[in-house]
Chains A and B, each alone.
Chain A
Amino acid sequence: MNSVSIKILAVAAVAVIAVAAICVFVLTQDNNKEKMTMNASLAVCGNADGDYVIDGEDKVIIQHIIDKDDGYTLAKYPLADADMNGTVDQADLDLVNKILSEEPCTIYHGVDDGEHGWAFVDTKWPINRAATSGNLQTLMLEKMAGIIERHIYGVSYSEEYGIDAYLYPTLQQYLGHSLGPSQKAYDTDLLSQCKTDTGITALIVGSVPKNAAAIEDMGIDLIRLESTTADLDRYISQILLLGFLFRESTQAIEIGKWSENLYAEMQSKLSTLKQDQLVTAVLNVGQTGTLTYKGSNYVSVLLQAGALYPDVLDVSSSPAIGDWIYTMDFDMIMCMRNSTPDHSWYGGTPDYERYFEAVYNTLGLTEPYLNGQVYAIGLDMPLPIRIAYFSQALYPDLYGEGWADQKHQEFIDKFFEEDFDTSTLDFLLEYKDYKDKLTFES
């Protein structure tokens, strides 16, 4: 056989194998769903009016749609289709009646994937027992919904962050028994054993794991939360969703209303500021020596607190800090940090040395640092409280000393079971207060 023939055969063999591979890919992939958009507080199908609860008012709207009354269409009330079959009919009314009478049934709820729009999934309702991701923002959502102590029976966490012993004392029993290698991965074997041992029927996650199909096959519904959202409405909707799924709606609704009032109070004060009074701040999250880019959810918290953010950081990813930082005009440096197993914000042991050292190493020669305008707050706190602390740091004269602590204490007293005292704990670390204790500057 001559060389040309061998080459042709080789190319043909590779092409055949490549085509086979492509065929396998195509045949084993699902089609993407169409993108859908909508705006609702409790994103559960059946909540036709999109408010905080499913109630008789939703039944009225559904009946109007069934009767084809003017102004009542599925397009206008997308959540009226309770069973997600594309039409609004008696079956939807029957499902809403089951929900109102708290009968076990399958409900549909939505999550906004951002890039792909809203997606709806089915879940067996109500949920009594679930496992969860150990992500601190996911856990905080669950804590606010009041489901941690009574409904969580397993956690997948990472050794780096652990599970805060002060915020989540009942979850300490799961230390050493993680359901997966990290906050985002869940071992199929261990989950199945957890289901056998505790009867969990759901897993609360911040992002869809690779073995999602296997988890669902095992009869464990995936409840996906937008844990890192900085949009207050979306944040509240996550708490409402959890409250609904676990039949703990009362506290969830109260938190929603309380948060809206707090936010309205802040916006009212911030609206009195003139343009030249607005403060430009930069944000550092994590220890990687970068500044968070403007489009990040973390920066959204700062913007909601009333800050301006440098346009030079309006890029697609966090840029590494370099000499260009000295050409940028900004007034304050903010950082957000997680608790770790050894340093807990609610335990009164934030690692201020490490937080400020990270800022010093990269921004230590900038004017805001030299002026002492550096602040650190915890990522563990509820979103409305984080916004409050940032806002106070940005505009101390607007709020008065201790305002954010006062609001935080009010929140703790109303919605937490633990007795945290904000007068003895420090949730807003000001560089000026810690400067003399820092060892790295010497």
Chain B
Amino acid sequence: MSQQSRELMEEYHRYRRRKILFVILLSLAAVVTIGLSLTIGGRNLGFFETYQVLFSHIMGATYDPASDQWLDDYIVWNSRLPRAIFAVLAGATLAVCGAVMQGVLHNPLADSYTTGVSSGACFGVSVSVVLGLSVGGGGDIYSLGTLLNAFIFALIPIAFIVGLSPLLKKSSASLILAGIAVSYLFNAFNTLLLVLTDAESLADIYIWQVGSVSEIFWADLPLVVAVCIPCMICMALLSGKLNILNTGDDDARALGLNVDNLKTVTLSFSALAVAVVVCKAGILSFVGLICPHIIRMFIDADNRFVIPASAGLAGVLLLGAEMISRTISPSGTIPVGVVLSFIGAPVLLYLIVRRRSNIY
């Protein structure tokens, strides 16, 4: 191997190591953010006191039920910790799905909202709460039937996009437009239902729609872990193929990639994972859209690194927004979705201005 080739290889390895380090640092940042978020809340617990409580719990300390120490332990371990973990998982899921959708649809605007997945889930909740129609019964916004409704209706937009794909002559712009059309359709149906409902149900659905992770407990996590983590792993394992897809559908086919199957599989996984997040926390906007773009500004468009890095960044972003929301309003008056919008909109504008067209 010539000297020049050796230098090129070393430069490549250094570049690759930097990207790996970047991903690791983002993952560590997510863990650190979880730790910081445990210290924020309406209960008067100091910074070090919180970690003392956490450490004591891990060491197996027990307290008299409903005593002040017991309440400290309960709040840190059973209220703040699952909420923080969920926020990181939810953010990671939305960002991974956003990155995959953007790659598959070759459109920088693709995410769970613009493809209609979030709107479909929202409509499913409205159908259950307003009309009382749901799989398995329910009608209350937190019932099993409502969750299943959101799940099923979230899959409909993806089914539309995947079903229309052969008819749209391989045009990714058309696919995203189809998703937006479905999103508007579901929003219209949703609005119609909300106009007809009573004030109590309307308030429930509105708060859920805005997006909130305020009342997430351990019981909410198994579903998210069982669905979202495997989906994210599957999509990460397909990142190499997504890189090939970045060259364009025709070139990818020429390289032997089954483009249609890849789109079907990845979009299906995305819909499944996003539906679960939306079921639990409502519509959390911007996370899936902006995090992959921010990551691509630093490490370009290699999906093998974009996907895990987006997951880490989105976890930090969503949990950070939740911390800001809780600091401003300990009673939870400001849902995290509102804070995300305030953060995400300026960032998106900045990205649009700074966008490099050779990212994809």
Interface residues of A (CB under 8 A from B): 3, 6-7, 10, 13-14, 17-18, 20-21, 23-25, 28-29, 115, 156, 159, 178-182, 184-185, 187-190, 192-193, 195-196, 207, 209-211, 213-214, 217-219, 286, 288, 290, 296, 317-320
Contact with A along B183-209 (1 / 0, CB 8 A): 000000000000111111001100100
B144 smallest CB distance to A (angstroms): 6
Interface flags, B151-181, vs A, CB<8A=1, else 0: 0000000000000000000000000000000
For A159, the chain B residues whose CB sits under 8 A away are 333
If A6-B258, A195-B71 touch, does A189 touch B217 (CB 8 Å cutoff)? Answer: no
Cα distance, A351 to B141, chains bound together (Å) = 33
The answer, yes or no, to whether B214 is at the interface (CB within 8 Å) is: yes
Q: In chain B, residues 94-153, which have Cβ atoms closer than 8 Å to a Cβ of chain A?
A: 130, 139, 142, 144, 147
Q: Please, could you name 10 A-B residue pairs with CB atoms under 8 Å apart, sorted by A?
A: A14-B269, A18-B272, A28-B219, A156-B331, A179-B331, A180-B331, A190-B43, A192-B71, A193-B42, A207-B200
Select one of A17, A181, A185 contacting B227, CB under 8 A. Answer: A17
Q: Which residues of B contact A192 (CB under 8 A)?
A: 42-43, 71, 74-75
Contact A6 B265 (CB under 8 A): yes
Does B332 lie within 8 Å of A181, measured CB to CB? yes
User: Given known contacts A6-B261, A182-B203, is B195 in contact with A188 (CB within 8 Å)?
Assistant: no
Is there an interface contact between A193 and B234, defined as CB atoms closer than 8 Å?
no
Given A182-B203, A193-B43, residue A25 in contact with residue B144 (CB < 8 A): yes
| Chain B residues near A182 (CB-CB < 8 A) | 203, 207, 333
Known interface pairs A21-B227, A180-B332, A190-B330; 5 further A-B residue pairs with C-beta atoms within 8 A, sorted by A's residue number:
A24-B222, A115-B139, A178-B331, A196-B68, A209-B215
Interface presence of B240 (CB below 8 A): no
> Within the complex, which residue of B42, B74, B230, B261 is in contact with A187, where a contact is CB–CB below 8 Å?
B42
Q: Does chain A have a CB within 8 A of B66?
A: yes
User: In the complex, what residues of B have CB within 8 A of residue A196's CB?
Assistant: 43-44, 68, 71
A residues less than 8 Å from B74 (CB atoms): 192, 214, 217-218
Inter-chain contact total with CB atoms closer than 8 Å: 132
Contact of B226 among A24, A178, A319 (CB under 8 A): A24
Nearest Cβ distance between residue A430 and chain B, in whole angstroms? 25
Measured in the bound complex, the distance between the Cα atoms of B68 and A210 in whole Å is 23
CB <8 Å contact, A3 and B272: no
A299 vs chain B, min Cβ distance (A)? 12
Say yes or no: B197 contacts A219, CB within 8 Å.
no
Residues of B whose CB lies within 8 Å of any CB of A are: 41-44, 65-66, 68, 71, 74-75, 78-80, 130, 139, 142, 144, 147, 195-200, 203-204, 207, 214-215, 217, 219, 222-223, 226-227, 230-231, 234, 258, 261, 264-265, 268-269, 272, 276, 329-333, 335
Bound CA–CA A318/B219 (angstroms):
36
Chain B positions within 8 Å of A218 at CB level:
66, 71, 74
Distance to closest chain A CB from B277 (angstroms)? 13
List the B residue with the shortest CB-CB distance to A201: B66
| A24 near B41: Cβ-Cβ < 8 Å | no
B214's closest neighbor in chain A, by CB? A187
A185 pairs with B261, CB closer than 8 A:
no
Q: Is there contact, CB below 8 Å, between A188 and B226?
A: no
A290 and B198 CA atoms in complex are apart in Å by: 10
Interface-central residue, A17, A190, A219, by most chain B CB under 10 Å: A17
Cβ 8 A contact of A210, one of B71, B142, B226: B142
Docked complex Cα distance between A288 and B333 (Å): 23
Residue numbers in A under 8 Å from B203 (CB-CB) = 182, 184
Q: Quick one: given A181-B331, A182-B203, A320-B196, are A189 and B43 in contact (CB under 8 Å)?
A: yes
Report which of B41, B204, B261, B330 forms a contact with A3, defined as CB distance below 8 A: B261
Identify which of B196, B217, B226, B330 contacts A21 (C-beta below 8 A): B226
A30 CB to nearest chain B CB (Å): 10
- Which A residues lie within 8 Å of B80 (CB)? 189
By a CB distance below 8 angstroms, the chain A residues around B130 are 317
B261 touches A217 (CB 8 A): no
What are the 8 A-B residue pairs with the smallest beta carbon separation, nearest first?
A219-B66, A189-B42, A190-B42, A189-B41, A10-B265, A181-B332, A181-B333, A189-B43
Q: How far is the CB of A358 from chain B (nearest CB, A)?
A: 14
| In the complex, chain B residues whose CB is within 8 Å of the CB of A23 | 226
Contact A188-B222, Cβ < 8 Å, known A25-B144, A159-B333? no
Q: Which of B79, B223, B231 contacts A188 (CB 8 A)?
A: B79
Instruction: State in angstroms the CA–CA spacing of A196 and B71 once bound together.
Output: 8
Nearest residue, chain B, Cβ from A176? B331
Q: Which residue of B lies closest to A320 (CB)?
A: B195
Cα separation A190 to B204 with both chains bound (whole Å): 20
Given the complex, which residues of A lie within 8 Å of B331, measured CB to CB?
156, 178-181, 187, 190
Q: Beyond A21-B226, A188-B79, is A214–B217 a contact (Cβ under 8 Å)?
A: yes
How far, in angstroms, from A73 to B330 measured CA to CA in the complex? 52
In the complex formed, the residue of A with least CB distance to B219 is: A28
Indicate if the CB atoms of B78 and A10 lie closer than 8 Å: no
- Establish whether residues A219 and B332, one from each chain, have CB atoms under 8 Å apart when the complex forms: no
Which residue from A25, A188, A209, A317 sits with its C-beta under 8 Å from B75? A188
